[in-house]
Amino acid sequence: MSRKVHSSEVYQAVMNKLTERGVPLEAIADIVYEMQVPYKADLRKEVCMESVLAVLEKRELQHAILVGVELDTLAEKNILSEPLLSIVKADEGLFGCDETLALGSVFGYGSIALTTFGYLDKQKIGIIKSLDNEGGEHCHTFLDDIVCAIAAAAAGRLAHRIRDEDEEVDGS
Ligand code: MG
């Protein structure tokens, strides 16, 4: 019989995986800050972190993180079957499944999240660049795109919050 997985177990697994894979949430919040500070000069890092934590509670993103990290980890252990193993380990530019998995998880966050994802995927700022450059026994084929997705979702969410707050201040 299949086991029913509780949401808290999934959330905890996501947090553990990100830590194990060397992705501090602060590094994602830094990217969110960089994406949104041009639109709000007094933006605080804590607000960016709140947004990161909020998007990490969403199942679409949680599941993409678990699938992506699992595939990277299996590739590192050489236990994917060929030819997928070699494709994932080589992080082939035309593979595309890493971007598709990550992109699919931000659909719920609107156009700002989607365009931010595309920007981050190309520009690879902050920890995304470090993950992309780290070779050797590490495989981050999925993880770099997953981090783009978390940052893009958090930035998209924040952009809408900032607008709502501005309207409250204006009384409009
Ligand atoms: Mg990738």
CA–centroid distance, residue 38 to ligand 1 (Å): 27
SS3 6: coil
Whether this model's pTM surpasses 0.85? yes
| Exposure on the CB side of residue 165, measured as CA atoms within 13 A | 11
Q: Which residues contact 130 (CB under 8 A, 6 or more apart)?
A: none
CA 21 to centroid of ligand 1, rounded, Å: 15
Distance 165 CA to ligand 1 centre (A): 35
- Reported as a single tens digit per residue, the pLDDT across 111-153 is 999 999 999 999 999 999 999 888 778 999 999 999 999 999 9
Q: How far is the CA of 4 from the centre of ligand 1 (A)?
A: 31
Q: How far is the CA of 28 from the centre of ligand 1 (A)?
A: 16
CA 2–ligand 1 middle distance (angstroms): 32
* 172 pLDDT more than 60: no
Interval between CA 8 and ligand 1 midpoint (Å)? 28
The alpha carbon of 160 and the centre of ligand 1 are apart by a number of angstroms equal to 27
Those residues whose C-beta lies under 8 Å from the C-beta of residue 21, and which sit 6 or more positions away, are 69, 72, 140, 143
Distance between Cα 68 and ligand 1 center (Å) = 10
Region 21-40 average pLDDT: 97
Helix (H, G, I), strand (E, B) or coil at 136: coil
Instruction: Give 168 Cα–ligand 1 centroid separation in angstroms.
Output: 40
Question: Which fold does the domain 7-167 belong to in CATH?
Answer: YutG-like (1.10.3760)
The CA distances from residue 24 to 18, 20, 108, 115, in Å, are 7, 9, 24, 23
How does pLDDT run across 159-168, given as a tens digit for each residue? 998 888 888 8
Residue 73 is predicted with a pLDDT of 98
CA of 131 to the centre of ligand 1 (A): 9
